[in-house]
Amino acid sequence: MRKFGPAIAAVLLLSACGKGAPQQPPEGPPQVSYVVMRETPAMLSTELPGRTAAYETSEVRPQVNGLVRARLFAEGDSVRAGQPLYRIDSAPYQTQVASARAALTRARAAIASNDALARRYGELVKINAISRQEYDNAITSAQQARADVSAQQAALRTAQIDLARTTITAPISGRIGRSTFTTGALVTAAQAEPLTTIQRLDPIYVDISQASADVLKLRQRIMAGEVARSGAAAKVRLKLEDGSTYPIEGTLKFTDVTVDPTTGTQALRAQFANPRGLLLPGMYVRAELGEGTQAQAILVPQRAVSRDEKGQPVAMVIGKGDKVEPRILKTERTVGDAWLVSSGLKPGDKVIVEGGMMLRPGMPVKGSVWNPNAKPAAPQGAQQPQAK
């Protein structure tokens, strides 16, 4: 048998060692980030559907009969209260005014004649030249003449009012819509169809519907002292149809005391300033309504909560011995980017926010306080890029 020298044996030994797989140090517990639960005041709000409605609406109708001679506005323009809108043929009403004025003049002339006759009969009855009945009749005629003057004055005033109504004016200020009648159309007093409609859009209302069960729950929490409500009017913010937020904050003005039996909802009304006319009547919006403040609330970041196979919200907590414990939560609503938790967690619990995707109950972990502004760490086992 051929023998090898000591140098050659050493080379063969090193070569044999190089062919084996490199040994790596054993991995430690997974690195996770957690947030410590604390009780903190939370502003509670709810988002509800709503529709915008004009602050004031006036349907313009004629109050006298006649032909429309002129339309005095441009459709879609802003009009002010008292501005002329239509002119109706006034000739018949001018004639009525003239006739009533003539009747008033005739009634006033009759007063002088009947007063003179009553004075003359008063002297004659003293010397028994006429009967007492004739004197009484003369007094009555004088009084009737004065009454006729009052009646004719009222008739003249009525005729003047009808004449003034031949010019139809705007009852309120606002934006005017399209005209449903044109020049030459015959209109009648108090007709069913309006000539046009005026809407005041600044300020503007938002009508909101809220489930009566939610209203009842909130009132019970307020009565129990869990939620505090300020004495000032609740503030409301709007989200428009395109998802943008309306820049002006509104105020809750009215809450109906009756629940709609068909829908089980309660009506609320908020008021918003609308100086640029961005909000128009009938727009669909979502209103964020402030409900009150919960003094002792536990808020969990939404990213720390997942769902189990039953759909229940679950959070992973660092328990005794730095081991993972699952907690089934009861969540009520979202507050910003966090869940409001009513049960399942207590102050001081360490809820895992990052690094909990592959964890199992009972697994030991190494935790650090979560920094929401830090970049998420690379998953364990991922290959790091090599420097060139």
pLDDT (tens digit per residue) in 370-385: 887 766 555 444 444 4
Instruction: Kindly indicate the confidence band of residue 11, based on its pLDDT and cuts at 50, 70 and 90.
Output: very low
The answer to whether position 60 is within a domain reads no
CA distance 302 to 182: 61
Q: pLDDT of 202-215, one tens digit each?
A: 999 999 888 888 77
Instruction: Kindly indicate the confidence band of residue 304, based on its pLDDT and cuts at 50, 70 and 90.
Output: confident
Q: Specify whether 99 is located in the same domain as 139.
A: yes
The angle formed by the CA atoms of residues 294, 299 and 305, to the nearest 5 degrees, is 145
Task: Average the pLDDT over 267-290 and give the result.
Answer: 90
Task: Average the pLDDT over 18-47 and give the result.
Answer: 74
Cβ neighbourhood burial of 150 (10 Å; 0-12, 13-18, 19+) = exposed
User: What is the pTM for the complete model shown?
Assistant: 0.67
- What is the helix, strand, coil percentage profile of the chain, to 5? 25, 40, 35
Predicted confidence at residue 274, as pLDDT, reads 93
The answer to whether position 122 is within a domain reads yes
Task: Using the 3D structure, point to which of 295, 329, 348 is the last residue of a domain.
Answer: 295
Whether cis (ω within 30° of 0) applies to the bond prior to 171 is no
Q: Specify whether 155 is located in the same domain as 188.
A: no
Q: Specify whether 351 is located in the same domain as 362.
A: yes
SS (H, E, C) 300-324: EEHHHEEECCCCCEEEEEECHHHEE
CA distance 375 to 340: 25
45 and 292 in contact (C-beta within 8 Å)? no
CA distance 259 to 211: 9
Q: pLDDT of 110-160, one tens digit each?
A: 777 777 666 776 767 677 777 777 767 777 877 777 788 888 889 999 999
Q: Specify whether 74 is located in the same domain as 188.
A: yes
Phi-psi region of 292 (alpha: psi -120 to 50; beta: other; left: phi over 0): left
* CATH number for the domain that contains residue 346: 2.40.420.20
Task: Using the 3D structure, point to which of 262, 280, 295 is the last residue of a domain.
Answer: 295
* CATH number for the domain that contains residue 218: 2.40.30.170
Instruction: Kindly indicate the confidence band of residue 90, based on its pLDDT and cuts at 50, 70 and 90.
Output: very high
pLDDT, greater one: 93 or 333 = 93
For β-strands 174-176 and 324-328, DSSP reports them as: unpaired
Q: Specify whether 289 is located in the same domain as 208.
A: yes
Q: Where is mean pLDDT largest: 46-55, 157-166, 225-234, 341-350?
A: 157-166
Task: Average the pLDDT over 90-105 and give the result.
Answer: 92
Whether residue 166 has pLDDT greater than 70: yes
Q: How many domains does the chain have?
A: 4
Q: What is the mean pLDDT of the chain?
A: 82
Q: Domain range for residue 149?
A: 90-164
Q: Specify whether 141 is located in the same domain as 209.
A: no
